[in-house]
């Protein structure tokens, strides 16, 4: 089948590469000529495990192509996927200008029936606006479908190729039949497609992310309480996770959630609810807890060292989570801001996000991006672990201790066993654990 995907960012590129991998002819449209040229060379602008291989293989096979020509894109595909950004507006709502701009382009250039699919995370009612924008430009028949993505950064290719559900929000049978055919290669083991109304599909995406964010913030509050009353949040996590009604997913406390989805989607859903006269008070607390949690590591370090002026802190992990280079809303950024504001210097390392960090901190002389985890320890007083990369899970602790002026580790991801680190002579400051 022939598909066009508007937007070659995180969602659009993964979607295009995965659809091409199962034999579809995919054309990705992006306004950034530099990015398009890069992609045509087989170079991915994002770090995502497995994506580089898909990109190169399907480019070579001719199933995946890139252009800046919107008219060419509209002519190419029966399916017109909208996967452009929806950044937060000043009031927290999702900014739909890019989505509606694509819709207008589709309307201006369409010559025969098309299925317009909103893949971007958009507020309830966006499909109606997309439909109006296309209809204002053409009398050619078309369908509008909501098909939200559920891709975890760091596991997006796997999530797309083996989805746990495919949500299709549509109002006409023709569009549903076509989407079922498109997604058939991903349904071979058992049926994962769920058809619902367009508005229900739009809300499902926000509801899913809000629920997961709520679990994280709740566990972070419990972890802080556990510290104060002498409990161990790891034991509590196992105790409650064994209840099948709760389960173990997203019960790991830490330094706060970040990334391109949870913070933005929580704000957008709050805005939608407020506009509807049904404010979601729980989500307000989720956001407040998360904002506060990002300062916990900095407070622990300041409490242990006293004045941070002239001190140097090594930071392992800059991406908001492992297996991505995404630093949007990352806990590391809050920690580094807290440390440098108090007069400390930072030596940081991340296996994938170094290039992004160098752009973010290029004008900050107090932040140095190191080439390795051990290089980040040079001259450091203490170590803070912020991202749960595999290479941080079992380091050479003797070498780490030898490098640090004060053998103290502040662990924002609870990667280590408190008893083991104590036996090695470390002071250990995890999140919510007995030490």
**Burial class for 1, CB neighbours closer than 10 Å (0-12, 13-18, 19+):** middle
Q: By C-alpha distance, which of 187, 183, 189 is closest to 168?
A: 183
Could you count the other beta carbons within 10 Å of the beta carbon of residue 48?
24
User: Can you tell me whether residue 241 is helix, strand or coil?
Assistant: helix
Strands (E), 170-243: 193-196
Please work out, in degrees rounded to the nearest 5, the angle formed at the alpha carbon of residue 97 by the alpha carbons of 177 and 11: 50
- Decide: 255 and 331 in contact? Cβ < 8 Å: yes
In the structure encoding, which two tokens stand for residue 110, read together?
């369409």
Q: What is the DSSP string of 21-36?
A: HTT-EEEEE-S-HHHH
Tokens 């419990």, residue located = 222
Q: By C-alpha distance, which of 254, 258, 265, 257 is closest to 329?
A: 258
> Which residues are CB-contacts of 331 (< 8 A; sequence separation ≥ 6)?
254, 255, 256, 257, 258, 293, 294, 297, 320, 386, 412
> Which residues are CB-contacts of 435 (< 8 A; sequence separation ≥ 6)?
418, 422, 428, 429
Pairing of strands 193-196, 79-82: unpaired
| Catalytic one of 18, 28, 261, 312 | 261
- Decide: 81 and 3 in contact? Cβ < 8 Å: yes
Strands (E), 64-165: 64-67, 79-82, 114-118, 142-146
Strands (E), 279-421: 312-316, 345-349, 367-369, 382-385, 408-411
Any catalytic annotation for residue 261? Answer: yes
Phi, psi of 179 (to 5 degrees): -65, -35
Burial 120-157 (b: 16+ CB within 10 A, else e): bbbbbbbbebbbebbeeeeeeebbbbbbbbbbebbbbb
Q: What is the DSSP string of 275-288?
A: HTT---HHHHHHHH
Q: How far apart are CA 134 and CA 136, in angstroms?
A: 5
Which residues are catalytic, by number?
Answer: 261
């Amino acid at each position: 089948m022939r598909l066009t995907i508007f937007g070659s960012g995180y969602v659009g590129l993964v979607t295009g590469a995965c659809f091409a991998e199962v034999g579809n002819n995919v054309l990705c449209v992006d306004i950034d000529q530099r990015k398009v040229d890069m992609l045509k060379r087989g170079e991915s602008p994002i770090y995502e495990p497995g994506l580089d291989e898909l990109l190169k293989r399907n480019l070579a096979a001719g199933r995946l192509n890139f252009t800046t020509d919107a008219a060419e894109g509209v002519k190419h595909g029966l399916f017109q996927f909208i996967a452009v950004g929806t950044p937060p507006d000043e009031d927290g709502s999702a900014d739909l200008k890019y989505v509606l701009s694509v819709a207008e382009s589709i309307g201006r250039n369409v010559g025969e029936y098309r299925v317009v699919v909103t893949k971007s995370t958009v507020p309830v009612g966006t499909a109606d606006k997309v439909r109006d924008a296309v209809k204002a430009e053409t009398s050619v028949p078309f369908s509008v479908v909501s098909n939200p993505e559920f891709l975890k950064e760091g596991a997006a290719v796997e999530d797309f190729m083996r989805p746990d559900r495919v949500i299709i929000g549509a109002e006409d049978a023709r569009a549903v039949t076509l989407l079922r055919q498109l997604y058939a290669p991903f349904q071979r083991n058992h049926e994962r497609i769920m058809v619902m109304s367009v508005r229900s599909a739009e809300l499902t995406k926000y509801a899913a992310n809000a629920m997961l964010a709520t679990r994280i913030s709740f566990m972070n509050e419990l972890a802080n309480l556990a510290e104060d009353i002498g409990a161990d949040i790891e034991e509590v996590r196992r105790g409650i996770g064994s209840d099948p009604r709760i389960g173990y997913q997203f019960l790991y406390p830490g330094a706060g959630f970040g990334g391109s989805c949870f913070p933005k989607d929580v704000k957008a859903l709050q805005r939608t609810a407020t506009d509807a006269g049904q404010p979601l008070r729980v989500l307000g607390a989720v956001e407040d807890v998360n904002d506060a949690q990002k300062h916990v590591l900095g407070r622990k370090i300041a409490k242990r060292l006293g004045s941070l002026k002239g001190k140097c802190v090594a930071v392992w992990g800059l991406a908001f989570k492992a297996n991505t280079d995404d630093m949007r809303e990352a806990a590391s950024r809050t920690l580094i801001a807290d440390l440098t504001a108090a007069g400390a210097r930072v030596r940081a390392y991340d296996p994938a996000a170094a290039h992004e960090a160098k752009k973010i901190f290029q004008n900050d002389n107090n932040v140095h991006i190191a080439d390795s985890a051990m290089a980040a320890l040079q001259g450091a007083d203490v170590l803070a672990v912020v991202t749960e990369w595999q290479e941080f899970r079992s380091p050479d602790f003797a070498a780490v201790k030898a490098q640090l002026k004060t053998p103290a580790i502040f662990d924002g991801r609870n990667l280590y066993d408190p008893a083991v680190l104590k036996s090695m002579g470390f002071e250990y400051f995890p999140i919510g654990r007995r030490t």
